[in-house]
Structure 1
């Protein structure tokens, strides 16, 4: 996936590329930034996991890097390749941290692609800064998009994933009825483009089982047009920002993965929103993840402090979820750091975590049931 997105595009365009294996980066955090400086790289691609590693691991080493001659003023674009909602706080922290090394805040941007289409939207360096909107979380649980003012109660900030690329058509669709939705609705992102994938090639299972993702039709509207289903929920909004041509553009806002949404009390919840609240509940919570089990909400929290603090986390976690999301937590599992599985792109593997929970393989510090 990563090589297809980054490596093949550079080969196609005839540019020289430098690839850094993820394992080498984990062993030497300054390697990526030093490489950018040494070879005066203009365009670089990374994942959120790389950005997070650098932010956490090099936060106190910027002076040392500067003394070693690391200069990032050459970087024109630093694009995060992601299949998720843009992590606004992380990109802002990264930009602010390495500003002293010459990194331009405008250089950092996000791009969205999926397995059915690797290049759906991209934020260009010549265009305006990515737009940010604030939506009402209560409406979002009903699959409705209602824009509110910044700082409004129950508001959620969302940054656009980029400008929809030329030749790419995007439509927002009801995943159950497969009918097109209006501007004020949250739905599955479908794409139509000459460079969409045609299917999976696998030696395991039936390839035809996934055919519906690559060649599907609307139930009405344009019944003869073939679309590819991304499996992600989002909405499209005409931005008010003017580009280099003086035109406004359609911005794509990715909210979350359809398969990972939680259906509770007839409403749709996105795990990242609950996890953000949980992580704020106590300073010793290093990471968290949520999933459902027999209609119960399960919260797994990694404890970075002493085990004596485990009991303190339970009421704080249950209270913050109840206050901010109006949900009752069924199970709180306190575990050691590193238990929550994360893939090479920095994405939480919540279903793998759920499987480990059901198989009693988490080796928890403490488990609290509220059944």
Structure 2
């Protein structure tokens, strides 16, 4: 049964960590109308029915955890299984157990959660798992990594996980949650684009960077790819800032009127007012949205634009010790520094070898001065959705607040000649 008609003028302040926040939570003001409109989008797109079960371990102050884990079951009449976040973190197979044997099961989590589940679930824990009924596994919180999708399917396909379960999507708290999604009954779409062309702002299909489609906008939602300097809409396959016009858009940030005006009700040169500036970068290839990163995270070197993911993927794939570990690339003043998490007890010599291999792999593809630093696991700051806070990483690294296990190149300080 569908929920009530999206109506009602009353507003509430919803405190969340937004995708662009680097320091503290921003209070996003959402109207009752926006909440209901987004719930109806979710219900229709994912065909949520009372017979479905939505399983969530995400905290309820997170937009995905609140809207999908709590509100959607109430709105659609579906069943809900709600777990404590620490339950998943300590033993991720408990998430799979909660989904096992449930026809029409649905869940949502950031990309990092699927990677964590793949790494931490041992073969013995898969015994008895029946994931054949897992219909929708929404994955979001950019970037969505192709290797995560493939690794998760490889790890749990033997437990019956359908190849169509993974459902990449794009959303943000400022739009309540849901903006775009791939179909719920088809495998994810992954395409490869030329690295040099992407650095110049063009999406040209060729061997190079693999990107995951986040699908098409929900009905009633408009997306524009905008040149942030001129505010003109860019043509297809041109990289620009993602702008959204939706009945589920928020009305502003609590107590921050200037920032609200700059974000929630901006005007395009040829498309009028009412647009939300997301701060995310991407492009449209046909009707599908591909997200390339955050505007404020772009690294500009010699006039070329590089996204942190370009460095991170190459570094973690370069050596088994870094495989599956969290990596964060950031500009630290003179070069790109890639921080890669590792266990404290890893042999220092082996870590140095891995760091050197990562530098070679990165610089073979990207003409940028790069260093790789192995740091203690768990010391990279993240948002509530598991995404690294890159600017905070750079600050802590410059200020010596990040425990360094090893680095490459091992730069020597020149003697002070006075």
Please tell me the TM-score bracket, short chain as reference. Answer: 0.7 to 0.9
CA contact (8 A) 1:264 1:295 kept: no
Given the alignment, which residue of 137, 140, 158 partners 1:78? 137
Q: CA deviation at 1:38?
A: 5.3
Give the whole-Å Cα distance in 2 for the aligned partners of 1:268 and 1:289: 17
CA contact (8 A) 1:120 1:168 kept: yes
CA contact (8 A) 1:332 1:369 kept: no
Q: Under a length normalisation based on structure 2, what TM-score does the superposition of the two structures give?
A: 0.76
CA contact (8 A) 2:111 2:143 kept: no
Q: CA deviation at 1:309?
A: 2.8
Corresponding residue for 2:411? 369
Corresponding position: 1:281 with 2:318: yes
Give the whole-Å Cα distance in 2 for the aligned partners of 1:264 and 1:320: 18
CA contact (8 A) 1:274 1:321 kept: yes
CA contact (8 A) 1:113 1:121 kept: yes
Corresponding residue for 2:270? 221
> For 2:331, what is the secondary structure of its paired residue?
strand
Q: Which runs of 5+ in 1 are unaligned?
A: 239-249
Corresponding residue for 1:15? 78
Corresponding position: 1:234 with 2:282: yes
Q: CA deviation at 1:59?
A: 4.1
Distance 1:366 1:32, change over 3 A: closer
Q: Under a length normalisation based on structure 1, what TM-score does the superposition of the two structures give?
A: 0.85
Distance 1:123 1:2, change over 3 A: same
Corresponding residue for 2:261? 211
Distance 1:266 1:51, change over 3 A: same
Corresponding position: 1:121 with 2:174: no
Q: CA deviation at 1:326?
A: 0.9
Q: Which runs of 5+ in 2 are unaligned?
A: 1-62, 414-418
Corresponding residue for 1:60? 123
> For 1:112, what is the secondary structure of its paired residue?
strand
CA contact (8 A) 2:189 2:212 kept: yes
> For 2:164, what is the secondary structure of its paired residue?
helix
Give the whole-Å Cα distance in 2 for the aligned partners of 1:99 and 1:345: 25
Q: CA deviation at 1:160?
A: 0.6
After TM superposition, the structure 1 = structure 2 runs for residues 1-371 of structure 1, keeping only pairs within 5 Å, are 1-6=63-68, 7-37=70-100, 39-40=102-103, 42-61=105-124, 63-64=126-127, 66=128, 70-80=129-139, 82-117=140-175, 118-126=177-185, 128-148=186-206, 152=207, 155-201=208-254, 206-218=256-268, 220-222=269-271, 224-238=272-286, 250-285=287-322, 286-304=325-343, 305-329=346-370, 331-367=371-407, 368-369=410-411
Q: CA deviation at 1:363?
A: 2.4
Corresponding residue for 1:246? none
CA contact (8 A) 1:48 1:345 kept: no
Corresponding residue for 2:37? none
Give the whole-Å Cα distance in 2 for the aligned partners of 1:301 and 1:44: 29
1:214-236 superposed Cα distances (whole Å, 9 cap, x missing partner): 11111x222x3321111111111
Distance 1:72 1:22, change over 3 A: same
CA contact (8 A) 1:134 1:158 kept: yes
Distance 1:178 1:47, change over 3 A: same
> How many residue pairs are counted as aligned between the two chains?
343
Give the whole-Å Cα distance in 1 for the aligned partners of 2:403 and 2:125: 37
Moved more, 112-121 or 337-346: 337-346
Give the whole-Å Cα distance in 2 for the aligned partners of 1:59 and 1:232: 36
Moved more, 319-328 or 37-46: 37-46
Distance 1:356 1:124, change over 3 A: same
Q: CA deviation at 1:163?
A: 2.2
Give the whole-Å Cα distance in 1 for the aligned partners of 2:220 and 2:278: 17
> For 1:116, what is the secondary structure of its paired residue?
helix
Segments ≥4 residues shifted beyond 6 Å: none
CA contact (8 A) 1:85 1:161 kept: no
